[in-house]
Amino acid sequence: MSTRARNRPPGSNWGDYGDDDRIGRLNELTAERVVRAAAEIRTGQRFCLSLPLDYPGGNVVFPFRRPPEKRFVDRMDGVPTKDFPFSRAREGATGVVNDDLVTLWTQYSTQWDAFGHVGSHFDANGDGDDEVLYYNGHYPGSDVDAMATAGLQGRGVLVDLHRVYGNEKTAVDFAMLDDAMRAQRVAVEPGDILALRTGWAQLVMDMHGTPEKQVIHHSCAGLDGRDPALLAWIADSGIAAIVADNVAVEFFPPKPGEAGTPFLPLHELCLFKLGINLGEMWYLTELADWLRDNDRTRFFLTAPPLRLRGHVGSPVTPIATV
């Protein structure tokens, strides 16, 4: 069901890509821009940008999200398909087979946020009552199926915040981000996918699945969603998506806001108002180090989510090719 907006929230782009649009800024990944992005492939070297999907480990990051739960499929008469001999299916047959299943919390580890993840209250139809709505006036919000079928490939552009701020927990406003971009000679153009290396995911990797609560919650940089200049830059930049190797892209837990302001200001701007997907807990260490050593900031990114219809987030195994 789609609610066509006669009104749209201030600062939003609802309707700019059509009343029924469900992919937002991914519309900026035009065929011409994908061809441009492919020009960043010069060596053919590839980097996996995903944590192991059972990391961070436990439920220290968010108590309501848990690691994947695996079990073997019951093949026949309750016998699990673990080293299951085919001779039980046909006498004299050779070979064994394994068949398993997994229960996934879709936003436990390296992931994409779909627009259905965060919405807000807004009177889009002009009847005087605020309704729960999602990007472009939709209810329910767009799921990851829309992202998957969009064919998410494009040019990634990396800013290494860890090079500037180390592991200190830091709220990065626009002036700080701009300084880092200028120092690293980073240029962001419409249709680019902005990648932020903070070092948080490397801390997770170094803890080998047993994260320390104090470290997890008190380390590394995040974008300051309370900074109006940063929000304005994101809106004006034309970027297609934002990804980071931290837990929420934005500084989390968020700085306190006044009544009537978003709890997660960057999420509300990106997912609700502008249709900018957010990628969280990506692993960017090896890519960032290679780009620095080779005096580059750009790469070709392939990162479709799982085609999970009806789901508001998805695990992802992104690949950067340089």
Q: Where are the domains of the chain?
A: 24-62+108-115+142-321
Per residue in 288-314, pLDDT tens?
999 999 999 999 999 999 999 999 999
Q: Which CATH number fits domain 24-62+108-115+142-321: 3.30.830.10, 3.50.30.50, 3.30.1330.40, 3.30.365.10?
A: 3.50.30.50
The SS3 assignment for 270 reads: helix
Per residue in 124-174, pLDDT tens?
989 999 999 999 999 999 999 999 999 999 999 999 999 999 999 999 999
| CB burial readout 109-124, b (16+ within 10 A) else e | bbbbbbbbbbbbebeb
pLDDT at 189 over 60: yes
Tell me the backbone φ, ψ of residue 290, rounded to 5 degrees. -65, -45
Question: What whole-number distance in Å separates Cα of residue 263 and Cα of residue 287?
Answer: 32
Least confident of 24-38, 71-85, 226-240: 71-85
Predicted confidence at residue 3, as pLDDT, reads: 43
**pLDDT confidence band for 268 (50 / 70 / 90):** very high
- 201: CB partners within 8 A, 6+ apart: 51, 245, 246, 281, 282, 283, 284, 285
The arithmetic mean of pLDDT across residues 41-54, rounded, is 98
Q: What is the DSSP code string of 33-89?
A: HHHHHHTT-SS--EEE-B--TT-S-TTSS-TT----EEEEPEEETTEE-SSEEGGGT
